[in-house]
Structure 1
């Protein structure tokens, strides 16, 4: 059986736009998407033809792999533009200004809330329609596969002991058996009073309400790096809470640790072939 090539970025963009940037299954709308080949399935013919593919959340992708939907149903999801607009409308909170709360540190309209040793653990990019797209690159001391999300596209997961990504995409939680952990929660805040009531935040002179708040909690097993709602511990030291607005990078530290995660993924994704047959370095060194 021929090996399927990695999905080109342009194909992913077509499929995300087609479903309105959210899973098109009824009552879902999750913005973190994978890509399902169904017409034909890849075991019959490897391809990356967007006409025979659909963007689905991880949960509904697994169901599609288990033949929960017919080919006709999946094509109907693709054709149902009214549903696509409805899903897109449900994600309007991703258009708002964003306040990242990272272990008690506040970063307003900061595209890279957390960076360690030059790795963007959590970052956001606005697309042409103003929607925020999430990217995640978990770090680990273990040479195992860890979560990677590239602009709302699931790229790698590995073998977590727990993974939650409920409909509407307002929560994301993943944990691994060595203590590596990530939790994101999005919420909508309408005014200054609500922000202070929910999060104890009094400084907001630069904020344009309503805003979207994303709480970012994570830990890296074996390192004493722990960002929780109670505060931040980095290599055994507490970090003083801070407030920053309109900066490129929020919490940024250099540890000198040689990170070991995703050895297979880095090897497989180091080179990708573009449609014009030019080879370019995509990931890795």
Structure 2
């Protein structure tokens, strides 16, 4: 297959997936009963920035993008922007902060970073990255007794981690045990079905403020028609991540800012 033909295929795939992402966002809004007539695009983003305020997030190459703090779906936390998102959590200078599962992209404000896999593998495809003052602890977040004491941390941050664990109930209990408050970010079930990582073990939703985990019926594959995972080698060239990871993160991900404790249910 020639290089030009391959480039045409990639261009078509990116355009197709961009359309599917917007359709998926609209479907998420429709099923939630919010914003059924919402128009996704630069005008809507600018409107939300003016209306709700914004945060400037690094977008690579020394550039920044302006991300609205809220949209029609609710509060939006650009949690992938780990160098700035902590400013939205009212974390004090003296607070002790831990990031669970953030080895490849830890929260910059975290004092301690926990990861079960220090090396690259199926769950993380980038090397371990730590700031100069961050302490790394290799541990399984499903059982951190003997590693961290009760309510040791003022803030517990975890993103894109709980969908990988074997026992989410144990991990969630440990999060509440070691932390006073915190933030959880996980892929939303509807989104994960179509554009999820093939090694995710759970489909997750928020129902009435409760985190609900359902065992993923089929592992190591996504939707054959819609799965974006095989296209990860080139999809970043199309600017698609800005729609997913920044502007509408609260649509594609369940985001929970909790204090003291939270409710959850695990359906095997």
Q: TM-score range by the shorter chain?
A: under 0.3
Structure whose residues are more often strand by fraction: 1
Computing the radius of gyration from Cα coordinates, the structure with the larger value is 1
Structure whose residues are more often helix by fraction: 2
What's the TM-score once normalised by structure 2's chain length?
0.22
